[in-house]
Amino acid sequence: MSDLARLTLAEAREGLGAGDFTSRELTEACLAAAEAAKPLNAVVELTPERALEMADAADARLASEGAEAPALCGLPLGIKDLFCTEGVRSQAASTILDGFLPPYESEPTRRLFAEGAVMIGKTNMDEFAMGSSNETSCYGPVVNPWRAQGSDKDLTPGGSSGGSASAVAADLCLAALGTDTGGSIRQPAAFTGIVGLKPTYGRVSRWGVVAFASSLDQAGPMTKTVRDAAILLQGMAGHDPKDSTSADLEVPDFEAALKGDLRGRRIGIPSEYRMDGMPAEIEALWSKGAEMLKDAGAEIVEITLPHTKYALPAYYVIAPAEASSNLARYDGVRYGRRAALGAEDGVVDLYEKTRAEGFGAEVRRRVMIGAYVLSAGYYDAYYLRAQKVRTLIKRDFDAAFEAGVDAILTPATPSAAFGLGDMAEADPVKMYLNDVFTVTVNLAGLPGIAVPAGLDAQGLPLGLQLVGRPWGEAELLDAAYALERAAGFDAKPDRWW
């Protein structure tokens, strides 16, 4: 049973239903794999006692309900540290939330656990989800399970959901939860050779998920296959009255939509994404992906998204502005870290010292940028203008879809995974460029999915991104399923940890 952790959600569901193994055995296999993978630093809080209790409860439910049991019953998941989990440390990888034990459960995890899903532990991430390499975490960086051929250099798994990506790619859990504000699910998925889905804004509740940029954040699944992404999204999605941005829409059967037949569908290729300096391998993979979708029956059409070049600047005004507002609540008074004060210190000193001690360099940088662009005299020049650009970017996508395009194909990242330390300290702006293909999707509130589609010359995974219509996750997953089948990506990292 040592290979149980390597199963997909669909395979494990089938095995549990057939009685080939129990949820306890499945969970024990994942816990053992995670315990043995400490060099990856992907899982920062293992919860074995709670996991086995949940597994036993799932086994009892499977025995009593049989085929009527929910699809996720008994399946072990990793949960990003951004999700509040009742009674389990949840600190968004930040020192300022050290010791915070939420007295409540986030809505996405509550839904999954109500279906019988099992939590093996909390996965590492960039602090407050701010980063593209998982190097800003108070727990230390996550290591990608993949390595370049002939090298033992540690690579980034991407960020901010790097712990979830690394855990899924290394078979420490069957799937994991991530969040995506500007590419934080899709970029790490591409770097680690897994599937990452960012749903339409409002499809999954944000209640109980620690906020970064509230108009951009969206939780989603990180899985080994497109089918698994459909299964996990089904368990997470749905209207939540506790979240004012949650959409009161019926949730379709995402798994049933997976046909892989794209006849009559039109896939757009945006000319603006052919950027100067794009690696030849990325461009070749993009062209190959278009051919794969064409072979599946789709019509490939050139489209234009003229405001794409303004997306990164707009994103890095809007996201820090919202972050500076959201992070103002961490003051050392109500919860989390509280700095030690001298006899002469007052409340302002408490705020300043607590935040100086508790926030890392990248978070401080973004809070300061956000405070600046929201300040009197600069609000109109920066924040208001960025919001206008955001509207234009959304209109570009609307026009493409109104013209009959069903999905849009782009690269997921501008490169394969790079080395830990290669960018973080040298040039923060260069790090931000990793989000060049993903931020437009968040600004427009659209669903996007990263699918592994090949390896580069060094044997590292490369991904392609598909972008869908608003609320069109079912059709998007179907297109991704066709791409996945055509690419036939089945490579796994060599176990070195």
Burial class (CB in 10 A: 0-12, 13-18, 19+), 399: middle
Is pLDDT above 50 for 116?
Answer: yes
Domain range enclosing 340? 1-497
User: CATH code at 43?
Assistant: 3.90.1300.10
At 426 the pLDDT is 59
Please write down the HEC assignment for all residues of 65-112. Answer: HHHHCCCCCCCEEEEECCECECCECCCCCCHHHCCCCCCCCCHHHHHH
pLDDT tier, 336 (very low <50, low <70, confident <90, very high otherwise): confident
At 69 the pLDDT is 96
- In 3D space, the residue among 461, 454, 449 whose CA is nearest the CA of residue 488 turns out to be 454
Is pLDDT above 60 for 59?
Answer: yes
At 277 the pLDDT is 80
At 199 the pLDDT is 98
Q: Which of 28-32, 366-370, 424-428 has the lowest mean pLDDT?
A: 424-428
- In 3D space, the residue among 50, 33, 51 whose CA is nearest the CA of residue 42 turns out to be 33
Span 288-319, pLDDT tens digits: 999 999 999 999 999 999 999 999 999 999 99
Residue numbers annotated as active site: 80, 160, 184
For the chain, the domain total comes to: 1
Burial class (CB in 10 A: 0-12, 13-18, 19+), 98: middle
pTM of the model: 0.97
* Mean pLDDT, rounded, for 402-420: 96
* Mean pLDDT, rounded, for 42-50: 98
Is pLDDT above 60 for 103?
Answer: yes
* Mean pLDDT, rounded, for 133-156: 97
Average pLDDT, the chain: 96
* Mean pLDDT, rounded, for 232-250: 98
**Phi, psi (rounded to 5 degrees) for 487:** -70, -35
- Total number of residues shown for the chain: 497
Q: What percent of the chain has pLDDT over 90?
A: 92
Q: How far is residue 379 CA from its own chain's centroid?
A: 30
Span 459-487, pLDDT tens digits: 999 999 999 999 999 999 999 999 999 99
Q: Decide which of 344 and 49 is more confident.
A: 49
* Mean pLDDT, rounded, for 436-444: 96
Span 4-44, pLDDT tens digits: 999 999 999 999 999 999 999 999 999 999 999 999 999 99
- In 3D space, the residue among 266, 235, 267, 272 whose CA is nearest the CA of residue 251 turns out to be 235
Is pLDDT above 80 for 412?
Answer: yes
Q: How far is residue 328 CA from its own chain's centroid?
A: 24
- In 3D space, the residue among 394, 413, 390, 409 whose CA is nearest the CA of residue 271 turns out to be 409
| Parallel, antiparallel or unpaired: strands 175-180 and 76-80 | parallel
The span from the CA of 143 to the CA of 463, in Å, is 19
At 433 the pLDDT is 79
Is pLDDT above 90 for 275?
Answer: no
* Mean pLDDT, rounded, for 118-145: 97
Contact in structure between 208 and 81 (CB atoms under 8 Å):
no
Structure tokens at 201: 């804004």
Is pLDDT above 80 for 1?
Answer: no
At 424 the pLDDT is 58
**Phi, psi (rounded to 5 degrees) for 70:** -60, 155
Contact in structure between 336 and 96 (CB atoms under 8 Å):
yes
At 335 the pLDDT is 83
* Mean pLDDT, rounded, for 327-345: 90
At 97 the pLDDT is 96
The CB-based long-range contact list for 420-428 (8 Å cut-off, 24+ gap) reads: 420/133, 420/135, 420/141, 420/143, 420/154, 420/155, 420/156, 421/135, 422/156, 423/133, 424/131, 424/133, 424/135, 424/136, 428/362, 428/365
